C-alpha cells in the first residue's frame, strides 16, 4: 500500500480541499514543461500539484475496496469529476469512457451507496468509510496518540502520529481528540464489535406465533383497555331494490335523500356504491353519520348484515334471494323495510302482506320531466323526512350509538 505522502486517496482529497490542479498526463515527469493535460482515456498518470508535485500511475490501486477488490485511481477520479450528475448520466459517461479505453483499462461503475460514501469522504464530509481501508500504520498511530496525550500537559512533544494519514497533530489537540466521544454513522451504528446469535429468540417466539390470542384476552384486561383507542364506528348500510320498476335507483337516490327532491332514475347509469350523510341527532348530535348505499349484498361479509338499517323494496320476492334472511317476514323482523310508490296509487298486495315493519310512502308523479323543478316538488321533502325519522328510530332500537354499532340485529 502507498505511503502517506503518496497515497492516491489522500492526495486527491487534499487537492480537492485546496482547489489545486489535478492533471491527467502521459508522463511520470513532474516538471511543468512535460505535464501537458490529455483526455482521461489517453492518460497514464495523474499529476497532483498539492502539497508537492507528484505523479501517480492512473491505474494504481487505491484503498477503496468494492466487492473485495481495490478500485483503481482512474475510476476514483472519474467518479469525482461526475459527482454532481445523476446516476444514469454517470453510468452513460462511464460506458463511453470504457469504449474509448478499449482494452487498455476499464472504469469501475460504483454502486449508489459506494458513490455516496466516496464523494462524502473526498469532500471532507466524513472521516472514515467502510469501503476505505485504513493506512498501514494508522492503528499503531492511534495507540501512540493516546500515549502522547498523557504527557502533553507537562511537556510539548514535537510530533504525534498522523491522523488518517493527513499530517501530524499537536499533542494538545491530540488530547482533545482522545476525550471525544466516538460517534457512529448510518453504516456503523447497527454494527457491534462482535456478531450476536439470536437463534434462541425463534424458540421463544414460537409459543406466541403458534396460537393467536383471542380478542377477549385484551378486552377483559382493564389495564390494557385504558390505553386502547376506541374502535371506529362502522358506517350503516342501506340496501336498494335492483328492480327496473323501482322509483329509487342508484342514479337518483342521493338527490332524493340529501336534497329532498325526486327525479326520474337513469336506468343506463352504472353506479355500484354511494355515500350519503345525514345528521342523526338522537344518535350523534355532533357530527353527521355516513350511510353506504348499495343495490345488492353480493360483496357482503357475514358481519355486514349487522350494519343494514333499511331495505328499499318494490314487493318483489326475488330481491331477497341472496339476503341473509330470504323470507320477507324474517327479513323485516330484523331490518326496516321502505316502499316508495306514486301518490294516489295503492301499494302492491305483496308490500301490504309484509306487515307494519315496511314503511309505505308515496311521491307525486313527474308529469313533465323537462319542466319539473324544485318549486313543484315541495312535498318530496316531507316524504324524505318521514323516511329518515323511521330509519333513526329503528337504529336507536337496535343499539346504534355515536361510538358503536350493534354486534347483532
- pLDDT (0 to 100) of residue 213: 56
With pLDDT > 70 as the criterion, what percentage of the chain qualifies? 79
More confident residue, 337 or 372: 337
Kindly state the average pLDDT of the residues 109-128.
Answer: 88
pLDDT beyond 80 at 406: yes
Q: pLDDT-derived band of residue 197, with 50, 70 and 90 as boundaries?
A: confident
Kindly state the average pLDDT of the residues 109-113.
Answer: 89
Kindly state the average pLDDT of the residues 68-89.
Answer: 91
- pLDDT (0 to 100) of residue 278: 92
- pLDDT (0 to 100) of residue 149: 45
pLDDT beyond 70 at 307: yes
Kindly state the average pLDDT of the residues 245-251.
Answer: 91
- pLDDT (0 to 100) of residue 153: 39
With pLDDT > 90 as the criterion, what percentage of the chain qualifies? 33
The β-bridge partners of 239 are 294, 311
Express each pLDDT in 4-54 by its tens digit.
678 899 999 999 999 898 999 988 887 766 678 889 888 899 988 888 888
pLDDT beyond 80 at 244: yes
Express each pLDDT in 142-196 by its tens digit.
444 444 444 443 443 444 444 444 556 677 777 777 777 777 676 666 665 666 7
pLDDT beyond 60 at 225: no
Kindly state the average pLDDT of the residues 132-136.
Answer: 85
Report the distance separating Cα 219 and Cα 217, nearest Å: 6
- pLDDT (0 to 100) of residue 378: 82
* CA neighbor of 369 nearest in space, from 266, 271, 270, 274: 266
- pLDDT (0 to 100) of residue 159: 43
More confident residue, 118 or 378: 118
Asked whether the beta carbons of 52 and 42 are under 8 A apart, the reply is no
Grid coordinates of 123: 469532500
Express each pLDDT in 320-357 by its tens digit.
998 999 899 899 999 999 999 999 999 999 999 888 88
3 state SS of 193? coil
Grid coordinates of 340: 316508495
Grid coordinates of 159: 510530533
Grid coordinates of 115: 458513490
Q: pLDDT-derived band of residue 222, with 50, 70 and 90 as boundaries?
A: low
For residue 61, what are the CA distances in angstroms to 52, 58, 75, 182? Answer: 21, 9, 10, 30
Count of Cβ atoms closer than 10 Å to residue 351 Cβ: 19
Q: pLDDT-derived band of residue 299, with 50, 70 and 90 as boundaries?
A: confident
Amino acid at each position: 500500500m502507498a505511503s502517506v505522502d503518496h497515497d492516491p486517496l489522500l492526495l486527491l482529497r487534499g487537492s480537492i480541499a485546496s482547489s489545486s490542479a489535478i492533471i491527467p498526463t502521459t508522463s511520470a515527469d513532474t516538471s511543468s514543461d512535460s505535464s501537458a493535460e490529455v483526455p482521461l482515456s489517453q492518460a497514464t498518470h495523474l499529476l497532483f500539484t498539492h502539497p508537492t508535485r507528484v505523479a501517480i500511475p492512473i491505474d494504481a490501486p487505491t484503498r477503496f475496496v468494492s466487492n473485495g477488490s481495490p478500485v483503481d485511481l482512474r475510476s476514483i477520479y472519474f467518479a469525482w469529476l461526475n459527482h454532481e450528475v445523476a446516476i444514469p448520466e454517470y453510468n452513460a459517461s462511464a460506458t463511453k469512457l470504457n469504449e474509448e479505453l478499449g482494452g487498455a483499462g476499464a472504469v469501475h461503475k460504483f454502486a449508489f451507496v459506494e458513490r455516496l460514501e466516496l464523494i462524502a469522504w473526498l469532500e471532507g464530509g466524513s472521516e472514515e468509510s467502510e469501503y476505505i481501508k485504513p493506512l498501514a500504520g494508522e492503528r499503531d498511530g492511534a495507540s501512540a496518540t493516546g500515549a502522547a496525550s498523557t504527557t502533553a500537559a507537562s511537556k510539548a512533544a514535537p510530533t504525534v502520529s498522523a491522523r488518517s494519514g493527513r499530517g501530524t497533530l499537536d499533542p494538545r489537540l491530540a488530547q482533545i481528540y482522545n476525550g471525544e466521544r466516538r460517534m457512529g454513522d448510518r453504516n456503523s451504528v447497527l454494527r457491534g464489535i462482535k456478531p450476536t446469535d439470536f437463534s434462541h429468540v425463534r424458540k421463544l417466539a414460537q409459543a406466541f406465533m403458534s396460537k393467536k390470542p383471542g380478542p377477549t384476552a385484551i378486552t377483559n384486561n382493564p389495564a390494557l383497555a385504558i390505553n386502547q383507542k376506541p374502535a371506529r364506528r362502522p358506517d350503516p348500510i342501506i340496501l336498494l331494490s335492483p328492480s327496473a320498476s323501482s322509483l329509487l335507483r342508484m342514479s337518483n337516490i342521493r338527490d332524493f335523500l340529501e336534497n329532498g327532491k325526486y327525479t326520474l332514475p337513469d336506468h343506463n347509469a352504472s353506479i355500484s356504491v354511494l355515500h350519503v350523510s345525514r345528521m342523526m341527532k338522537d344518535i350523534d348530535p355532533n357530527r353527521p353519520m355516513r350511510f353506504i348505499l348499495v343495490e345488492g349484498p353480493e360483496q357482503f361479509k357475514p358481519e355486514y348484515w349487522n350494519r343494514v338499517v333499511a331495505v328499499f323494496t318494490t314487493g318483489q320476492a326475488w330481491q331477497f334471494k341472496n339476503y341473509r334472511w330470504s323470507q320477507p317476514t324474517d327479513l323485516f323482523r330484523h331490518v326496516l323495510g321502505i316502499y316508495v310508490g306514486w301518490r294516489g296509487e295503492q301499494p302492491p298486495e305483496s308490500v301490504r302482506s309484509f306487515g307494519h315493519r315496511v314503511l309505505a310512502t308515496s311521491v307525486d308523479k313527474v308529469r313533465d320531466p323537462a319542466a319539473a323543478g324544485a318549486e313543484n316538488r315541495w312535498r318530496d321533502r316531507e316524504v324524505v323526512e318521514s323516511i329518515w325519522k323511521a330509519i333513526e328510530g329503528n337504529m336507536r332500537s337496535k343499539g346504534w350509538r355515536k361510538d358503536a354499532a350493534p354486534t347483532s340485529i
